[in-house]
Chains A and B, each alone.
Chain A
Amino acid sequence: ETGVTQSPTHLIKTRGQQVTLRCSSQSGHNTVSWYQQALGQGPQFIFQYYREEENGRGNFPPRFSGLQFPNYSSELNVNALELDDSALYLCASSLVASGRIETQYFGPGTRLLVL
């Protein structure tokens, strides 16, 4: 049990729709990262938020966006959904102290299916 929670657990959307996924970080953690895990693949880094600012982004288009709130919870928003967006979306929380990133602890994920 990592203390990182995600909602919803499963979601079905149709192509072109928009979706918002939510993550609640482990207590005391100030950083959240989002990953996309396609079936049979390793997780791919989408972006990270530190103190409500984006702090690094992977190779994902701008229709993937995020927010981090003062209580360190976070959202991942995906606009104009495509079939290839079907995946398990994982968030991970961590503590950044003295400029160093500690271990990332993952939530159980949200499985998104785009039809």
Chain B
Amino acid sequence: AQSVTQPDIHITVSEGASLELRCNYSYGATPYLFWYVQSPGQGLQLLLKYFSGDTLVQGIKGFEAEFKRSQSSFNLRKPSVHWSDAAEYFCAVGGSSASKIIFGSGTRLSIRP
């Protein structure tokens, strides 16, 4: 079955601290992987994506993610968070010819001043 698991429902980090949000996926074919961010009451903004090639992917706003096929993971990282990073983060998986993207249930990030 195709699925995405984000094991952390809510994470709080201090401003300036590093961040890692976990994502594990189950997908039968070669996965396309995404991280999206959603601010309250807003749509989804794409942070980064992995289709192929280098397994360390750079995105917007200083985020990066690493694809580890052996662990079926695609964790999101940022070396130093800012208060404006507080939002809901969604990991998602799809395929090259798949019509749908499967989303995880999200991780809510709070920033401690």
- Enumerate chain A interface residues (CB-CB to B < 8 A): 2, 4, 6, 33, 35, 40-45, 48, 50, 55-56, 58, 90, 92, 99-101, 103-109, 111
A-B pair count, CB < 8 Å, reads 64
- Enumerate chain B interface residues (CB-CB to A < 8 A): 4, 34, 36, 41-46, 49, 90, 92, 94, 96-106
Are B103 and A101 within 8 A (Cβ)? Answer: no
> Shortest beta-carbon distance, B94 to chain A, in Å?
7
> Shortest beta-carbon distance, B11 to chain A, in Å?
16
Are A33 and B42 within 8 A (Cβ)? Answer: no
Contact of B34 among A35, A50, A103 (CB under 8 A): A103
Interface centre among B36, B42, B43, B106 (most CB of A within 10 A): B43
Report how far A42 CA is from B92 CA in the complex, Å. 9
Report how far A103 CA is from B51 CA in the complex, Å. 10
Are B43 and A2 within 8 A (Cβ)? Answer: yes
Are B97 and A100 within 8 A (Cβ)? Answer: yes
